[in-house]
Amino acid sequence: MRIAGPFLFRSRSLISSLLYSPRKMALSNEERRRTILSKGDNSYDIFPNLSRLVPDVDYCAFQVQSLREDMPPEPMPQQCSDTDLCFDSPMGFVRLPWSTANINNGFHQYVIIDRALRALVSDGAHCIEAVIVTLKECAPWIKSFDGLLGYMEGLTSAEERDALDVMAGIAKLAVNAKFILTAPVPLLRANRSNSVTLSQEQCSCLMAHAFFCTYRRERHNFNRINMASIFDGRNPLSHVKLRFILHYFAMVLKKMPSGCVSFRREVLPSDAIPDWEKEELSMPLVAVASDGSIEDSPGCLQVDFANEYIGGGVLNSGAVQEEIRFLICPEMMVSCLLCEKMGPLEVIHIIGAQRYSSYFGYGSSLEWAPYEDFACEPKDEFGRIKCELVAMDAKLFRPGFRNAQYKKENIDRELNKAYVGFLPKHRNACPVATGNWGCGVFGGDKELKSLIQMLAAARAGRDMIYYTFANKQFEISMNELYEKLLYKKATVGAVYKALISFEKEHERNPRLSVYEHVYAYVIFGWLDGKVFDALVQYMVSHLYLSLNENEDFLMDELP
């Protein structure tokens, strides 16, 4: 049967006008980018609001009224009254090393730890071997210090002296921790929306104990927090990671920051999941950039391409987007201690973590660099840096199984994850800064993931700036598709239907890309009621529609 074959399919002008003709947009991509970043500069969600904390939901470890610009706030309570610190409470609290319940084989572990740390503080770190002796007393289970020794061997005499002074200072932070954190710190357990706010000084004390590996072996369902792996010579990135971490400690020892950091788990109730197929919302305002980066987008909700165990391999051998972000903002590592593994309908927000370093390279080429704008970032009324990160884990699609990402259940999983990540607490939410979430080692399709995040941003009421990480061609492709969807007034529901129909069409035509399919499907299947489904199926099954090339289309007869 023919469906007006010569008219529809042999006419280059019709196909070109539908698929390829340039459209004059109200705003160019660059204008949209400036508009979005300007919105980011002028909006900030103050949440959690430390003046209105909800009991049993929001925990703050210091006296909010004592916040000042020139010194850290006072702990709450001022003196510890519960020396057990809920060490083994079934309710779930951090196992603080100085708890009187930290007992192993009948011995109070902190007596040993405290003695070793105080010796290093009083005697000074005159050589790296003295630091290693302390580490062995605090954590006798550590097998290798070759990475730490190798790092020190690469330093000049002056740099070595500075590094040893910093390590002695870290020991002093660890000794003082019990006077700075004076109450049990609740964990952010799965399936419960709650928050923990700590002063930056309290974060530094927790990090100091992580450096000396004094925490009990990690709990099931939590990431590691002890830094033993980066002391190990088998870790190819131990030298560079030590550079980031020691620089952080050097900065806080030089002048202790006076602000605070909030960690918040957000859970989407199952009855709040949108009916994506019925969503009539239009596409959000989107800009695509091949230059710039997520962390350099002030005022935006910044996406962390997270592992389900937040922090991923930051204290192991990982060095991709999440790990790099945690290395330049080490206070984020405290989340490894606080946060249980994420479920499919939950994310973790980190508000106010300060940036101490910059970097260049990626993965095995990662190198430390100084951060020129340190201490210049604006703060909110509670002393938090005006920076909010959302950690959201994408699903892993291993080689050989990557086509599984096109299944409806996996699209829904990623869409709902992005939605809960972008969901604001207030109206007029700030824009979201994101990129190739779940791609790279996680095997995600950039075209699919970009559209999933676009739909989630639309439903959450946020504008979006998408960084392609120097991929100019993808910037062009994504921008072209976005502008065509805008021109055709595509809705969230229409694009969603196109995405879930892609799997079947991709099986028929493996050369077909997500962008090609979505645009053809939206145009012929859902926005133009005069075109039959049969036409849509034929187009997406038998044509390789290029969004970027202007070519003739010659087709055989329909069967």
**Angle between helices 446-460 and 492-508 in degrees, nearest 10:** 160
Q: Decide if 111 contacts 98 (C-beta within 8 A).
A: no
Token pair belonging to 279: 């969503």
The answer to whether 232 is a known catalytic residue is no
What order do you get walking across the sheet with 58-60 strand by strand? Answer: 58-60, 194-199, 260-267, 346-351, 388-393, 301-306, 432-434, 464-467, 286-289
* 412 belongs to the catalytic site: no
**For residue 485, which phi and psi values (nearest 5 degrees)?**
-65, -40
Q: How far apart, in Å, are the Cα atoms of 395 and each of 404, 412, 416, 474, 502?
A: 10, 11, 12, 22, 18
Over the Cα atoms of the chain, what is R_g?
26
445 catalytically annotated:
no
* Exposed/middle/buried for residue 54 (C-beta within 10 Å: 0-12, 13-18, 19+): exposed
Q: Of 58, 201, 266, 304, which one is the catalytic site residue? A: 304
| The token pair that represents 276 in the structure block | 């994506």
Active-site entry in 323, 388, 475, 480: 323
SS3 assignment, position 43: coil
- Between 157-180 and 200-211, two packed helices, what is the crossing angle to 10 degrees? 120
C-alpha distances in angstroms, 333 versus 136, 147, 373? 23, 20, 21
DSSP letter (8 states) at residue 532? -
321 known member of a binding site: yes
Catalytic residue among 201, 322, 463, 475: 322
Spatial distance between the Cα atoms of 247 and 249, rounded to a whole number of angstroms = 5
Provide the annotated binding site: 307, 321, 362
**Catalytic residue annotation:** 304, 322-323
Annotated binding site for substrate: 307, 321, 362
